[in-house]
Structure formats: C-alpha cells, structure tokens
Amino acid sequence: MILQKTVAAVAFIATGWLSLLAGASAFDMPGAQCNLNADKSTLQVVVSNPASESYACAMACHYKVAGERLFQAFNCNFSLSPNSGDKVACDLEGNAPGYFAEARGAQLMCQPR
C-alpha cells in the first residue's frame, strides 16, 4: 500500500513538472550568447528575440585572454526588435588570432520597451 501511494505521488509530481515545462515553451524570451569567432580574435555577443515585443537588454560576458588566468568582463547594451533572428549586437576585437582563450555568458537582463 505504501509503495502504491509513493508511486502515485511521484507520478503526480512528474506530471506537474512536465506540464510546467511544456507551458514554459509558450513564453518566447530574448536570448544571447557570448561566442568567439573561428580564429579566436573576436568576442561576439549574438542575440535574438522570438517574442512579439521589443526589449532593451544588457549582456555581461566573461572572457580570458590567452596566457592570462583571470576572467575579464565585457558589457553589451542593445535593443531587440520583435521577432528578430540571430544578429551580432556587440563585438570586442583582440590584437591577433588566438588572442582570446575562452568566453562565457554571465548574465542577460531584458526589459520590455
């Protein structure tokens, strides 16, 4: 009897989480990524907005310069039009190919306009 109640409770919880996940896809939100180009000479913030609303956004990227141990910050402020595909919002040029070692997205904040 205890096993049946436990299985029923787990099934109920799993069903609730699955319905939440399915509902989350109905909310289109802006997205952004911090990328390095092929030769690692440029850091790019690539953004998109599948939503039908305009947004003002700020993205913080952390990056490492080759040969250095510490991450540095690069901040990018941009506007997104409704239903916009991938585009480069900001870029940071390095001194030469292989200048950047790593890039990470730290935080994306967007507000409807």
Render pLDDT for 74-103 as a digit per residue (tens, 0 to 9).
Answer: 999 999 999 999 999 999 999 999 999 999
Q: What is the count of structural domains for the chain?
A: 1
Which CATH number characterizes residue 47's domain?
Answer: 2.60.40
User: What is residue 101's predicted lDDT score, i.e. its pLDDT?
Assistant: 97
What secondary structure letter does DSSP report for 2? H
Has residue 62 been placed in a domain?
yes
Residue 8 lies in a domain: no
Look at residue 28 in the predicted model and tell me its pLDDT.
86
For residue 102, being part of any structural domain is answered with yes
Give pLDDT tens digits for 28-86. 899 999 999 999 999 999 999 999 999 999 999 999 999 999 999 999 999 999 999 99
Q: Tell me whether residue 3 is in a domain.
A: no
pTM confidence score: 0.72
Domain that holds residue 73: 28-112
44, part of any domain: yes
Q: b vs e for 5-34, b when ≥16 Cβ sit within 10 Å of the residue's Cβ?
A: eeeeeeeeeeeeeeeeeeeeeeeeebbbbb
Place of tokens 């239903």: 83
Q: Are 97 and 39 in contact (CB under 8 A)?
A: yes
Strand (E) or helix (H) holding 73: strand 72-80
pLDDT in the model for residue 1: 55
